[in-house]
Amino acid sequence: IEEMASYVKKNFAYKYIAITDHSKSSRIANGMDEKQILKQLKEFERVNKKLGEDFIKAGMEVDILADGSLDIADEVLAQLDWVVASIHSGFTKDNTDRMISACKNKYVSCIGHPSGRLIGARETYKFAINEILEAAKASNTVLEINAQPQRMDLNDELVMLAREKKVKLVINTDSHSYDNLSYMKLGVFIARRAWCTANDILNTKPWHEIASFRKKLSRQMI
């Protein structure tokens, strides 16, 4: 974690980063359970103290299970700065209800790679984008532009639709190595094709504005 933070500070002008490891259901990605997450939180604190600033934001990419619940307990999610909820199973089903259910969880900040596509390998699963956008707007949940080249999810057409519906977005690199951090440019290109401005992309903002946005997560839908 300290090495990652040092690399980013040296090579990018970012004011913060969010580290969002996979949760326990993603076994292929060595997903973390609640005990491991709490241990990682202590390491984030140690590194930030050494850096002399609150540079690393504590995050997690949690799995949305088949019934729409999340695979990490709420009392642990409540301690995180940023929670991405994503689908990594059930690709042959209509996953609208699963994502709407995740939007209703007050600790979920963002829906990750909403369409589930892998370019050249997997088509999008079925989902009702307008229903998800309505749920995201009502619950103040952000949708992700995943800039990983095999995903690019949301695509530009869906990003434009989200922008028109006034749903906020974030651009994430889905980095699994230092080289992947350069994918941010691809995400910016997707946003530009959808006519987004910096005001549409939440992680163009200073962290205190993001934190303020997240405080609105105890919404009328809950």
Sign of CA dihedral 91, 92, 94, 97: negative
Sign of CA dihedral 198, 203, 205, 210: positive
Q: How confident is the model at residue 216 (pLDDT cuts 50, 70, 90)?
A: low
| HSE-CB of 150 using CA atoms within 13 angstroms | 7
176-215 pLDDT, tens digit per residue, is: 999 999 999 999 999 999 999 999 999 999 999 999 988 7
3-30 pLDDT, tens digit per residue, is: 999 999 999 999 999 999 999 987 666 7
83-130 pLDDT, tens digit per residue, is: 999 999 999 999 999 999 999 999 999 999 999 999 999 999 999 999
Question: What pLDDT is recorded for position 35?
Answer: 95
| Buried b / exposed e along 77-94 (16+ C-beta atoms within 10 A) | beebbbbbbbbbeeeeee
